[in-house]
């Protein structure tokens, strides 16, 4: 447009006086001076940005964002978002990754981890905002196909459930299906995985282990991380002090789901915990010690859950750093939870009929806001056993979907039917954002489209 205007001015001055020509020349000079100054300022800003910003001299193209794009003509309607982490920027500054002695193996202790992690965050400043609340979920399964014909299908759906939850709440997830230490097998395999994840994710404050047979059945509930910051707890596990110190029970806690802070204390604690596992030359003796202390223990080998309970029993000061979560279903026993799904669905449907904003269609990305809206109606729901609140995590302990075995106290196919009901109960909470639901929790393949004012409209 500027070129066209200058061109028209040139042709019109052909018939004007010399005075007008001189005046035009002066205008041209002013324009060129202005453009030259603007170009110089642009080059100065660009050079400073290039010095401070990511190196884009390689083959990768710079990341393009729309944070400055306007929604409308009014500048007040600009999209304003927190700056995203810079995934293209890894400076040449030396960090712990550059030290040849670094090993990811659980057999190699890590020292000064807090300082090393803080140094990494200083060199990667875009990751520093929000680091306190950053979570990486870790889960996994065996590397070979399941013996149970439907086992791999179940594991896939359990994994999908975790991916859905992480996507909704902005968490990263790492799924592993190989042994990171050849001797740390079965339930002990989680410790090398968690330890390696701490090193691989210095940007994350928490590593969250979730067993392959545990699933999220309240997709709106978000980890109450401030609850564990209050007294600087570093390990969160579902359990009860009375069962540890008075009854000395093997089921005093469940180590299938735990949240551990990415810090030096956790590194040291995992080292201590792992020394009771099969990598230890005293593995057999630890099994004998656990069996003698916990009379309800069902097998003689040392296991990670008994080892954790033993550590707490022998050193009560660990309670200063380990939080035994009993206030909600951080993980819950499936046998007492699955029969409650119908009643919970009915109660939640009733809440939505009363509150129109909960029926409003919305993007999946803003689901946490609607969880907050719903909390107002759940004050009397309770939490845990006997509650009509959605259980946060349903854990199928005693069921083994991959090999097809299950605890003899469970009848027939109760494990598999319970898993189908739980998976569809959780999936309905996800599918609602996409406009569909399973009308029957035992029928995984059938869905129905939800009407506009669902569930207020229609015979539900």
Paired tokens of 133: 């609340």
Sign of CA dihedral 365, 366, 368, 371: negative
Mean pLDDT of 294-322: 97
Cα(392)–Cα(394) distance, integer angstroms: 7
Quick check: 186 pLDDT over 80?
A: yes
Quick check: 323 pLDDT over 80?
A: yes
Q: Which CATH superfamily is domain 110-328 in?
A: Spore Coat Polysaccharide Biosynthesis Protein SpsA; Chain A (3.90.550.10)
179 with 247: CB under 8 angstroms?
A: no
Cα(174)–Cα(237) distance, integer angstroms: 20
227 with 434: CB under 8 angstroms?
A: no
Cα(451)–Cα(433) distance, integer angstroms: 12
Predicted local distance difference test score (pLDDT) of residue 18: 36
Predicted local distance difference test score (pLDDT) of residue 342: 95
Q: Which of 15-19, 149-153, 157-161 has the lowest mean pLDDT?
A: 15-19
- Three-state DSSP string of the chain: CHHHHHHHHHHHHHHCCHHHHHHHHHHHHHHHHHHHHHHHHHHHHHHHHHHHCCCCCCCCCCCCCCCCCECCCCHHHECCCCCCCCCCCCCCCCCHHHCCCCCCCCCCCCCCHHHHHHHHHHHCHHHCCCHHHCEEEEEECCCCCCCCCCHHHHHHHHHHHHHHHHHHHCCEEEEECCCCCCCCCHHHHHHHHHHHHHHHCCCCCEEEEECCCEEECCCCCCCCHHHHHCCCCCEEEEECHHHHHCCCCCCCEEEEEEEEECCHHHHHHHHHHHCCCCCCCCHHHHHHHHHHHCCCCCCCCCCHHHHHHHHHHHCHHHHHCEEEECCCCCCEEHHHHHHHHHHHHHHHHHHHHHCHHHHCCCCHHHHHHHHHHHHHHHCCCCCCCCCCCCCCEEECCCECCCCCCECCCCCCCHHHHHHHHHHHHHHHHHHHHHCEECCCCCCCCCCEECCCCCCCCCCC
Mean pLDDT of 250-264: 97
Note the pLDDT tens digit of each residue in 61-115.
Answer: 333 333 333 333 333 333 333 458 999 999 999 999 999 999 999 999 999 999 9
Q: What angle do CA 383, 251, 188 make, to 5 degrees?
A: 110
Predicted local distance difference test score (pLDDT) of residue 457: 62
Domain boundaries, the chain: 110-328, 334-449
Q: What global pTM score does this model have?
A: 0.81
Predicted local distance difference test score (pLDDT) of residue 53: 37
Quick check: 196 pLDDT over 90?
A: yes
List the beta bridge partners of residue 437.
Answer: 448
Quick check: 383 pLDDT over 50?
A: yes
Note the pLDDT tens digit of each residue in 16-67.
Answer: 333 333 434 444 344 444 445 554 454 444 443 333 333 323 333 333 333 3
Quick check: 134 pLDDT over 60?
A: yes
Instruction: Determine what percent of the chain is predicted with pLDDT higher than 90.
Output: 77
Predicted local distance difference test score (pLDDT) of residue 37: 54
Query: Please, what is the average pLDDT of the chain?
Result: 85
The label of the residue with tokens 């099994």 reads 287
Of 371, 330, 118, which is closest to residue 209 (Cα–Cα)?
Answer: 330
Quick check: 183 pLDDT over 80?
A: yes
Quick check: 437 pLDDT over 70?
A: yes
Note the pLDDT tens digit of each residue in 325-362.
Answer: 999 999 999 999 999 999 999 999 999 999 999 999 99
Mean pLDDT of 283-312: 96
Of 368, 354, 364, which is closest to residue 435 (Cα–Cα)?
Answer: 364
Cα(214)–Cα(165) distance, integer angstroms: 12
């Amino acid at each position: 447009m500027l070129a066209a205007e200058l061109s028209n001015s040139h042709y019109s001055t052909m018939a004007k006086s010399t005075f007008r020509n001189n005046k035009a020349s002066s205008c041209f000079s002013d324009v060129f001076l202005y453009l030259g100054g603007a170009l110089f300022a642009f080059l100065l800003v660009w050079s400073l940005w290039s010095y401070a910003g990511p190196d884009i001299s390689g083959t990768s193209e710079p990341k393009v964002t729309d944070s400055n794009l306007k929604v409308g003509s009014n500048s007040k309607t600009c999209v304003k978002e927190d700056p995203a982490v810079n995934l293209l920027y890894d400076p040449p500054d030396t960090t712990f990754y550059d030290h040849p002695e670094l090993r990811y193996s659980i057999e190699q202790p890590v020292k000064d981890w807090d300082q090393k992690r803080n140094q990494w965050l200083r060199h990667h400043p875009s990751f520093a905002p929000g680091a306190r609340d950053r979570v990486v979920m870790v889960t996994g399964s065996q590397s070979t196909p399941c013996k149970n014909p439907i086992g791999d299908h179940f594991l896939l759906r359990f994994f999908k459930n975790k991916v859905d939850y992480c996507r909704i709440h902005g968490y990263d997830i790492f799924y592993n299906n190989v042994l990171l230490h050849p001797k740390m097998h079965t339930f002990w395999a989680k410790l090398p995985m968690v330890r390696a994840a701490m090193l691989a994710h210095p940007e994350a404050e928490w590593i969250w282990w979730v067993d392959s047979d545990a699933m999220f059945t309240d997709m709106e509930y978000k980890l109450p991380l401030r609850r564990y910051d209050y007294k600087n707890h570093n390990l969160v596990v579902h359990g009860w002090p009375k069962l540890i110190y008075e009854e000395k029970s093997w089921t005093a806690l469940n180590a299938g789901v735990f949240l551990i802070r990415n810090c030096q204390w956790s590194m040291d604690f995992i080292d201590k915990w792992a020394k009771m596992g099969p990598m230890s030359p005293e593995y057999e003796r630890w099994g004998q010690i656990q069996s003698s202390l916990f009379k309800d223990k069902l097998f003689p080998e040392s296991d990670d859950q008994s080892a954790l309970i033993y550590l707490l029993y022998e050193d009560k000061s660990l309670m200063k750093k380990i939080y035994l979560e009993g206030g909600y279903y951080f993980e819950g026993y499936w046998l007492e939870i699955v029969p409650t799904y119908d009643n919970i669905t009915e109660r939640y449907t009733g809440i939505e009929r009363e509150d129109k904003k909960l029926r409003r269609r919305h993007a999946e990305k803003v689901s946490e806001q609607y969880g907050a809206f719903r909390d107002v109606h759940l004050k009397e729901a309770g939490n845990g056993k006997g509650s009509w609140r959605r259980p946060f995590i349903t854990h199928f302990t005693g069921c083994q979907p991959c090999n097809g075995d299950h605890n003899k106290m469970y009848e027939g196919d109760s494990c598999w039917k319970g898993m189908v009901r739980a998976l569809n109960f959780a999936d309905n909470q996800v599918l609602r954002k996409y406009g569909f639901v399973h009308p029957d929790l035992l029928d995984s393949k059938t869905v129905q489209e939800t009407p506009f004012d669902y569930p207020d409209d229609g015979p539900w």
